[in-house]
Structure 1
Amino acid sequence: MVVLSELLEGSSSSSSTHGHNPSTSGHSSSTHAHRYDVFLSFRGLDTRHSFTNHLYKALIDANIITFLDDEEIETGEALKPELESAIKASRASIIILSKNYATSTWCLDELVLILEQRMISDHIVIPIFYHVEPNHVREQQSSFGDALFKHNQTMDEEMDENKRRQWAQKIDRWNKALTEVANLKGNDVNGRLETQFIEEIVKDIYRRLYVTLQSVRPLLIGMDDSINFITSWLKDGSSHTVDILTISGIGGIGKTCLAKHVYGLYWCEFHRSSYIENITRKCDGKFNGLLDLQEQLYYDISKTRSIRVDDVSIYTSKIENSLASKKVFIVLDDINNLVHLDALLGSKGFHPGSKVIITTKDRWLTESCALLKTNIKPKHLKYFLEGLHETKSRQLLCYHAFMCNYPKAGYEEVLDKLVKYCQGHPLALEILGKSLHNRDVVYWEGFMEGLKKEINSPINNVLRMSFESLPSNNDKDLFKHIACFFVGIDREVSETILEACYINTRSGITNLLDRCLLSIGWNNELMMHQLVQEMGRFEVSQESLNKPWKRSRLWCHKESFRVLKHKKGKGNLIGLSLDMRMLEKEKLGGSFELKTDALSNMDSLMLLQLNYVHMHGSYENFPEEIRWLCMHGFPLKSIPLDLPIDNLVALDMSYSNIESFVGWYSNPQRLEKRQKVDGSCLKEKRLFGSLKILNLSFCEQLHSIGGFDQLPMLERLILRNCIGLCYVCESIGQGVELVLIDLSYCTKLEKLPRSICILKKVKTVLLDGCNLGESQIKNMELDSLEMCTVNTIGINRRTSFSAFVGGIPSDLKSFSMSLPRSLVRLSLANNNLSHETFPMDFSCLSMLKHLYLDENPISSMPNCVRTLPGLEILTMGKCKKLKSIEYPPRTLTELFINPFGMDYIEKVVFDPDMSPLQLSINWSDYASWIDCIPWLYEIQGMVKIQPMVTLEEKVLHSLGWTNFDFHNYRRAGSNSSLEHGIQLFYEFGIFSTKYEEEEMPTWFTNRSVGPINIIYHPIIISKQS
């Protein structure tokens, strides 16, 4: 149930033989020196079979490892060695001072030793006055006086002078110890129910033990925001509701540590609590493992033992009945199977006020659980845990490597490399830091190089669990494909290519996203954490450790080069990537030229990337199964006629020397040559019958393109930065499948083909930087158009605003009226638009969903924005004069603000009937959320800051303020009164005091040192980094 010991790394695994409860989590002790959490000192004659037994059971139930002496009879005068050892091996002692406690010399010796431990260490001592008065203990009166009198009599009767002297010294120590323990803060059982009294003792000792654990090591470096987030969720809840929080993220990112930490802080505020850890491992690794966990959960929340049954459904029913009767706090750690989740939580619901935290690698797992399909659904919140920022990553690595928060001199450069390598992954930082502890810089540098070769590590093993949990071979193949070749490539492009390779990407990518093995970047590109990508590549390398040509995929440029150079490639290869820019040594050696017949035996090759590779020979040697051919820096002036292209789906020859894509199709002699090469019929053959993506970006020699009648399946035409392009053939009108045309920064392009207007499926046209007249744009009437960029006006957040050239049309109002009615995204960012120059009418944009107004000198949200009936996303980042955002459209789901450069925003007001939206505030330029507060004065109904002097007296009284004479206090060195320095921060119904000084004023009488929690709403506000 309660987790103490595992909060510390490397703790001993030994447990007490004195009644450790096997049904609990079985956590190890807290440090190497401490075998026990608590030592119980008591007089067996008084309490062994009553109070002490009940207290001991409660401590064990709370998973507090407790030593209790089983021996009933005292033998000999000296304290038993095992008792002395147990006291020294315990972190705390509970002393039960009962009527006959002082009659036992052993008890008194235990007391002396316990207090000595308190003096020389941080040993915690909690006295319990069990039906005795503290003053009687302090003054040795009543039964304590009688007991000490008898001990004095024993001393007087001793005939041996040395023994009498020893008795005198002992009695003196006992008297002092009794006085000292009575002066400590203790607990008095008189007049109280013992069950409630014991519960309070357990909570008290737990809090004290937990604080001690907290001070031992900074286990949660960089997680302050996440802790505050979950704390606000725990505290911001009605006693009439049930809340579930799902924490998701890749393995080793800190989900378990975070949940364990929060559980340790708040478990005692609920009637019952349970922490079930490593659920996936325990269920998969042991027969009837799920039944064991059900039994543990049932006991934790009911405190009753039931007869073991080998039926999951019966245990689920028992758990459901227990959950309905008490306010509980449950943490289910590392659960990735829906069957396990339903078996542990059931479907009947919880007692009001209960809280459940679930940690998982599958962020959508809980959406399908039975509990959320009931008529009365619990409130469900999902929290995705990301890696640490660079500063916190450095701090965590330094802590484990140097045992401090900063690097030693001379280590800075290699430390930065390691921090970059780990990309904020806490487990990786911890493991590497410990591996490098007490090592010199040379070792560090060698270790860094070794990381690139040695992938089979503890970090990798943790991440592999997510990979192994993928439900199908399709998903595993998809993950390997992306890890080897498609990280950083547009999602839609990747999906098109991989679908042609017989991979189901629609469900596959969703499964990878759910398990945090994949993410989608701001530009819609596929992204992977570097360690996850290395794990995926490691899986491929296991196919053949020493013979890379026997693997299914080759991504290592050096290995690919050697396989091609020695012509070892076989039919097992599916994908191969080679970029000669990554192999400078081979270039210098003059051996970088390869022959095309090196590919002749790779019959199954579908994914081929040969960037800046010079190949000699006939291109008919290229495999016919190729779906994706990427050849950046292709040296020839035209595409080889003998290149097999029948199955080609994507051709990327960016940065090449190609001069024309027209001559190939318009020259009959070349068509006849092609016919002779493949034996095709001139009238029936479509040369690029399968091609869907053509990318010739940055081909500076390209001057014209045509022959679109030979590209019946083409969906994406990308000609970005073809600065020599001046002609696009009218045959583009035959590209009936085109959905995207990118002609951005084709600076010599002055005219668009008229046939472009007849295209029915085009959704995106990018024309930034083209030398087109305004009439060309207005005449481009495309009913299906969703995105169009022209000069500095853009409809796609993905475009780099800083790269726009030219100015907006002089008549912006008429221009807005001429925009396509099908427009979905519109960006007017960085156009120097004020209220005077802003378009007044957006009535034609009824389908607009995304509007970007960033970096414009507007002071408030323009009125015309309110008229957009379907707007979902509005961004107003870095609008330096922005003062207010009032009543955005009710359909809005996300509002993005970047406060950088702003003085303040006075007010943000939402329509009370709006659905919940996400307010995203980018404070990456600020040290913390509190630093952003000065510019955000009020978000109506959510956040507000106001001087205390303006509040009603009853509000101040309710907050504990009784002194309102603010004018008697002034800031040092300031003429302003204190009323401006003290403000109340109101947030979601919670008031807190904000005082803008470096030190707490002396007139604050109640002080404490501890963490500061800045509460923010878990749904409305999200952190953007």
Structure 2
Amino acid sequence: MSASFSYDVFLSFRGSDTRYGFTGNLYKALCDKGIHAFIDDEELQRGDEIGEALIEAIKQSRMAIVVFSKNYASSSFCLDELVKIIDCVKEKGRLILPIFYDVCPSHVRGQSGSYAEALAMHQERFKSSNQSLIDNMGRLQKWKMALNQAANVSGKHYKLGNEYEHEFIGKIVKEVCNKINRRPLHVADYPVGMECRVQKVKSLLQFGSDTGVHIVGIHGIGGMGKTTLARAVYNSIADQFEGLCFLDGVRENAVKQGLVHLQEMLLSEIVGEKDIRIGSVSKGISIIKHRLHRKKVLLILDDVDKLEQVRATAGERNWFGSGSRVIITTRDKHLLQGVDGKYEVEDLNEEEALELLSWNAFKDHRVDPCYKDISNQAVAYASGLPLALEVIGSLLFGKGTREWESALDQFKKIPNRRIQEILKVSYNALEENQQRIFLDIACCLKGYELEEVEDILGVHYGVCMKYDIGVLVDKSLIKIKNGCVTLHELIEVMGKEIDRQESPKELGKHRRLWFHKDIIQVLAENTGTSEIEIICLDFPLYEEDEEVFVEWDGEAFKKMENLKTLIIRNSHFSKGPAYLPNSLRVLEWWTYPLQDLPTDFHPSKLAICKLPRSCFTSLELATISKKFMNLTVLNFDGTECLTKIPDISSLQNLEKLTFECCENLVAIHGSVGFLDKLKILSAFGCSKLTSFPPIKLISLERLDISSCSSLESFPEILGKMENITQLELKYTPLKEFPFSFRNLARLQDLVLVDCGNVQLPSSIVMLPELAEIFALGCKGWLLPKQDENDEEKLSSVSSNVKCLCLSGCNLSDEYFPMVLAWFGNVKELELSSNSFTFLPECIKQCRSLKLLNLDNCEHLREIRGTPPNLEYFSAGNCKSMSFCCSAMLLDQELHVAGNTMFCLPGSRIPEWLEQQSIGPSLSFWFREKFPVMDLCFVIGPMGKDSILFRPIMTINGNTMEIQSLTDKRFCFDFPALDYHILIIGTKYMKFGDNLDKPLSKNEWNHVVVSIALDFEPTPKEIIVKQTALHVIKPESSMDDIQFTDPCKQPSFKEKQRLVDTVDCHRQFMQHQTTLVSLEPHVRQGRNSLSLIPPQECKNNLNWDSFSTGTSSIASVQAAEKIGYFGFTATTTHGFIGFTATKGQRIAFIALFSIIGVDGLMAEEMHHNFPRIDRLQEQHLPSTIKQNFEGCNGINEAKVNEVIRCNNNYGNDNERNPLVEQLLLRKEDDIHSKRYQHVWKMASDPMELEYLVHIQKINLSQR
């Protein structure tokens, strides 16, 4: 037993049921095994409450065994004991093992059967008790929650007659031994940022299902904390398994002692036997499978670097029992093929990194203020790598700021050896070619597009380099992000240091030159040698974007006989090169300083030639095409002297040809259209180009002739071009397409932006793979031109286009029948900013349509039907839309699945969204799974062009990132000049964060729903007027959802206020049709109620100026409890409100002294209900009207008025003590304070009954 606990086990049981039987035998069995168990004697269970000695015993026990027997719940003593045990489980992490002794676990969990009878008996007993009803009701609620939570923990069920009791007890003792003998692994001295990462791994382990064996991989670069994370996960979940094994350092142990030793260690730890001897790997596999296949185990294989290590220890899932979990940590993601989930360990964020550095450098979680700047520099250098932060922090512990600065400067020049050695393990495991490729990327190609990197490295190493790049990705040495190759900063430093070590003193003997100062030195001093293979001179642009000037004699390349790649960007040279090596395979030189290349330059292997922004003319380009016949990439972008693309028919290996932004280019030679290997052709931005030659490019994949403002016709297609998938035609005023357009048989994306009076051919409908037409701002859009030969075919063909955008195309009402007939399979239809007035009924036939955008269609009045599977609909600023259309689009049937996102003008939330709240947020509580629901917000007006927004779910205080399930962002693509209704189903959303992280297991979870916008509202802008939600009942049980806190009982004062309301309701039901004068009721006291029938409400109050919503005031909450819906608006001395039943609408005005209610201030009420000013005050009785005065603050005169009113309400001029508090604060600018008041509901109808009774007694005593 650990010294920190007095007992190993605390036994909770019903003495009369099991003391002298099952529990007594269990106690003896535990003691026989040396387990120190606490069992109370009968004297301790006398009385109704547990004593301090018993509470202390619970706190000082490592785990509790709760024996649920038939009469357990009949003892209030046992139930109070259980509450304390659950408190220790939640607050102190104690273990609990429930035993269901001849009772059904569901009876305990749901309080049914004998447990329901016992709790009902306690409830009846409380009715006749002299003790506080409120306290007893709170106690009863805690019992219910504790029973539910305990029964939800995995336990053991014993049914009389099914097995021997001593065998059942033996199983319990064995499990207890396993649990209390386990010691947590050491995670880290300072485990920063560990909790959220542990939760992410646990979510991958799928603990919701005990069936099957789940395997999860944790991967990342060395020093990232994979082992640390695995240990933390182990400690978090170990108690759920029968057997445990953490195999540390698999890579190192396999090398030193072999795979058989790993198998022996595994078996020894799980079965608890020492000196296990196996003999061979194959025999070990057989023994592992035989001994563990029925055992629920947790196995962690740490630092695996070869597949054979996994095969020897966890080769098949059937080696382990159901519910087992295997975690593999590795630097090589490739080894995780076939696992159920992969987690790449994330860098520490800036805050976490600073904290870890602080712990190591200052032994405190906070940074010493004197070291703030230098600490930030250290964090930036470490780039989120925990190993680097620990090493740097430890080395600099106790050092001054100057020593910190010196050390960091040194680290930047020569990396720390310990960090370098750990990071270099992955590099050492690479093949030679892979090492060279890694160094090429780390030194020269970081940040380049993957396609460009593959082009360059393919010239050096052949096509096999694609496999090698994949290996580097798997080993976490490089990453591909947004199509670009990148790597961790310290991995980059490691690679550059490895290259530097090849020749630490002579720059000219490095294989790779990348540092601009080193390159300038080598070029200026002519110190290059044949060792140099790559030069990448990519000068950083300085503050004023000035390019660097290089002074040299042009002879530096003569000694570089093996130079293969020369890349020069953002620089100017004093003169051009007199010589270029014939060994070059890649030549990229921006703003090349001469009009031609050296005459003796004949590179037979030159494959990539990029000379953008050069001075070359058509003549020089023709010369190049004849000399460099092996070119695969030719780039002359931005070459102003180029007026014509000459004959390049000799370049039959050319795959990429670009001459973008050649502003003086007017013609292209016909040979360009017959290059069989050409894959990419771009003439973007050639504004003077008037014609394009016919093309028959059988390998072409991408064609871009955007921004060719003088080009009016698309080139003829002379034959089938089955590889082209993408066609960019932005800002090119093409008037028509040739009928040969049909030859683009595999075209997938057609992009047209501001193309004027464009007319597509009718054959476009028959392109089988065309999935997207994006035609934005083509204001002269015409109906497709029909080919006579296609007429018969078109009558029976519907396009396969899935996404059709015709926004801003000036479409009229006549266009839609044709569009919907031809594009009937469309899934996304963008029609914003058009001039049509209605959508035809035939849109119902678009059964695949899921997204329809009609934003800014200001003339749209009518929508004659909705597609049956519509999920996303937006009609922002469709100000002419009829009320009937809005009602149709807000109909509940469209949103019943909880998977829609609709936005349209309006300010009134539909009635089917039952839970409504004025303002930007709404709260609810749930347990078990997150409910399926529709959220609704009334938003606006906002004077912004485009508003990004996102729903926010704050669960138990943790703000969750919400993302759209589709590519469609949460966004208003229009200026919201009026109110709009936004409905979002939770099925349309996904949680970007791990949802398991904030959840309380088996407990209620508090959720606050709100919405975030991308700008701060100005005081004049009203952003979120109302919030509402509707729970999708078939998919979410209302038993697991509450809209008042189910775990917290109201205070006595709050409950009395609730009783006031219930009592008033009873008066109301008795005098439903009575009109009572207002003034006498004010004089009678603050518990009175003035009743006004509906017709009087119409005459006196403009109720429609308010928006219906669920009030936070207790009286209206009580009305909701008994079947009403309502709202209130607070005034200086009370509140105004109404309730409505299904059969009739009834309004009431209840006046309370504002001080007597809760000391709420008028200005605060004005803040919470900003639409008070919309009341037609001239129609109000004078007493009420006066109460609205001063809503902008409370001054001394107002305080005195409140005091006078308060004294009039009380008996014998009693002064409310809250008045005194207000007087004491009146000098403190109290009008600016905000008070948040949470009004709670009684949780039981019986409680309401008794509270009414108590209140009547209190009133009679007064």
Q: What band does the TM-score fall into relative to the shorter chain? A: 0.5 to 0.7
Distance in structure 1 (CA, Å) of the matches to 2:457 and 2:484:
14
1:527 partnered with 2:486: yes
Distance in structure 1 (CA, Å) of the matches to 2:369 and 2:611:
47
Distance in structure 1 (CA, Å) of the matches to 2:649 and 2:630:
13
Partner of 2:226: 255
State which of 796, 807, 810 in structure 1 corresponds to 2:754.
807
Partner of 1:314: 283
Q: Aligned partner of 2:438: which letter?
A: F
1:740 partnered with 2:680: yes
Q: Aligned partner of 1:906: which letter?
A: I
Distance in structure 1 (CA, Å) of the matches to 2:559 and 2:487:
32
State which of 577, 581, 593 in structure 1 corresponds to 2:551.
593
Partner of 1:719: 659
Alpha carbons 1:38, 1:93 under 8 Å: kept: no
Alpha carbons 1:418, 1:448 under 8 Å: kept: yes
Alpha carbons 2:632, 2:655 under 8 Å: kept: yes
Partner of 2:941: none
Using structure 2 for the length normalisation, give the TM-score.
0.51
Q: CA deviation at 1:337?
A: 0.5
Q: Which has the higher contact order (CA 8 A, sep 6+)?
A: 1
Q: Aligned partner of 1:786: which letter?
A: T
Alpha carbons 1:220, 1:258 under 8 Å: kept: no
1:352 partnered with 2:290: no
State which of 437, 442, 450 in structure 2 corresponds to 1:491.
450
TM-aligned CA distance change 1:124 to 1:513, over 3 Å? closer
Distance in structure 2 (CA, Å) of the matches to 1:236 and 1:844:
49
TM-aligned CA distance change 1:299 to 1:880, over 3 Å? farther
Q: Aligned partner of 1:200: which letter?
A: V
Written as runs of structure 1 = structure 2, the 5 A alignment for 1:543-692 is: 543-579=502-538, 592-612=550-570, 619=577, 621-654=579-612, 656-660=613-617, 662-664=618-620, 686-692=626-632
TM-aligned CA distance change 1:306 to 1:565, over 3 Å? same
Output one character per residue of 1:515-550: Cα deviation in whole Å (capped at 9) or x when no partner: 12222221x222222222222222212212222322
Q: Aligned partner of 1:546: which letter?
A: K
- SS of the residue aligned with 1:697? coil
Partner of 1:74: none
Alpha carbons 2:696, 2:717 under 8 Å: kept: no
Q: Aligned partner of 1:785: which letter?
A: I
Alpha carbons 1:816, 1:841 under 8 Å: kept: no
Distance in structure 2 (CA, Å) of the matches to 1:321 and 1:978:
64
Alpha carbons 1:653, 1:697 under 8 Å: kept: yes
- SS of the residue aligned with 2:614? coil
Distance in structure 2 (CA, Å) of the matches to 1:467 and 1:313:
31
Written as runs of structure 1 = structure 2, the 5 A alignment for 1:829-978 is: 833=807, 866=848, 895-899=966-970, 906-907=984-985, 956=1039, 977=1117
- SS of the residue aligned with 1:709? coil
TM-aligned CA distance change 1:963 to 1:218, over 3 Å? closer
Output one character per residue of 1:168-202: Cα deviation in whole Å (capped at 9) or x when no partner: xxxxxxxxxxxxxxxxxxxxxx9994773464366
TM-aligned CA distance change 1:953 to 1:520, over 3 Å? closer
Distance in structure 2 (CA, Å) of the matches to 1:923 and 1:901:
24
Q: Aligned partner of 1:328: which letter?
A: V
Partner of 2:14: none
Partner of 2:461: 502
Partner of 2:725: 786
TM-aligned CA distance change 1:952 to 1:844, over 3 Å? closer
TM-aligned CA distance change 1:813 to 1:723, over 3 Å? closer
1:542 partnered with 2:501: yes
Alpha carbons 2:590, 2:614 under 8 Å: kept: no
Q: Aligned partner of 1:352: which letter?
A: S
Partner of 2:295: 326
TM-aligned CA distance change 1:348 to 1:780, over 3 Å? same
Q: Percent identity?
A: 22
Distance in structure 1 (CA, Å) of the matches to 2:543 and 2:177:
70
Distance in structure 1 (CA, Å) of the matches to 2:286 and 2:360:
46
Q: Aligned partner of 2:172: which letter?
A: Q
Distance in structure 2 (CA, Å) of the matches to 1:744 and 1:770:
7
Q: Aligned partner of 1:807: which letter?
A: D
TM-aligned CA distance change 1:407 to 1:810, over 3 Å? farther
Q: CA deviation at 1:324?
A: 0.8
331-340 vs 809-818, which moves further: 809-818
- SS of the residue aligned with 2:456? helix
Partner of 2:268: 299
Q: Aligned partner of 2:614: which letter?
A: N
Q: CA deviation at 1:256?
A: 2.2
Using structure 1 for the length normalisation, give the TM-score.
0.61
- SS of the residue aligned with 1:319? helix
Distance in structure 1 (CA, Å) of the matches to 2:303 and 2:1241:
48
Partner of 2:172: 196
Distance in structure 2 (CA, Å) of the matches to 1:545 and 1:1004:
79
Output one character per residue of 1:756-787: Cα deviation in whole Å (capped at 9) or x when no partner: x2111111112333315563279798543111
Q: CA deviation at 1:480?
A: 1.3
Alpha carbons 1:397, 1:429 under 8 Å: kept: yes
Partner of 1:136: none
Distance in structure 2 (CA, Å) of the matches to 1:271 and 1:719:
68
Q: CA deviation at 1:341?
A: 0.6
TM-aligned CA distance change 1:394 to 1:653, over 3 Å? farther
Output one character per residue of 1:405-433: Cα deviation in whole Å (capped at 9) or x when no partner: 66555766555554444443333344344
1:383 partnered with 2:343: yes
Alpha carbons 2:332, 2:476 under 8 Å: kept: yes
Distance in structure 2 (CA, Å) of the matches to 1:978 and 1:706:
86
Partner of 2:648: 708
Q: Aligned partner of 1:291: which letter?
A: V
TM-aligned CA distance change 1:820 to 1:51, over 3 Å? closer
Partner of 1:103: none
- SS of the residue aligned with 1:275? strand
Distance in structure 2 (CA, Å) of the matches to 1:407 and 1:657:
53
Alpha carbons 1:832, 1:857 under 8 Å: kept: no
Larger Rg belongs to: 2
Alpha carbons 1:828, 1:852 under 8 Å: kept: no
Distance in structure 2 (CA, Å) of the matches to 1:251 and 1:906:
43
- SS of the residue aligned with 2:518? helix
Q: Aligned partner of 1:769: which letter?
A: S
Partner of 2:1151: none
TM-aligned CA distance change 1:220 to 1:763, over 3 Å? same
Alpha carbons 2:687, 2:708 under 8 Å: kept: yes
Q: CA deviation at 1:898?
A: 3.6
Partner of 1:776: 714
Alpha carbons 1:596, 1:621 under 8 Å: kept: yes
Partner of 1:240: 211
State which of 300, 311, 318 in structure 2 corresponds to 1:342.
311
Alpha carbons 2:825, 2:846 under 8 Å: kept: no
Partner of 1:102: none
Distance in structure 2 (CA, Å) of the matches to 1:124 and 1:962:
20
Distance in structure 2 (CA, Å) of the matches to 1:312 and 1:428:
38
- SS of the residue aligned with 2:713? helix
Q: CA deviation at 1:227?
A: 2.9
TM-aligned CA distance change 1:357 to 1:896, over 3 Å? farther
Partner of 2:25: none
Distance in structure 2 (CA, Å) of the matches to 1:508 and 1:979:
70
Alpha carbons 2:267, 2:276 under 8 Å: kept: no
Partner of 1:514: 474
- SS of the residue aligned with 1:292? helix
Q: Aligned partner of 2:519: which letter?
A: S
RMSD: 5.7
Q: CA deviation at 1:264?
A: 0.8
Q: Aligned partner of 2:239: which letter?
A: C
Partner of 1:431: 391
Alpha carbons 1:898, 1:922 under 8 Å: kept: no
Q: Which runs of 5+ in 1 are unaligned?
A: 1-17, 19-35, 43-49, 58-91, 96-121, 127-189, 373-378, 675-684, 795-800, 869-875, 911-918, 937-944, 982-996, 1006-1025
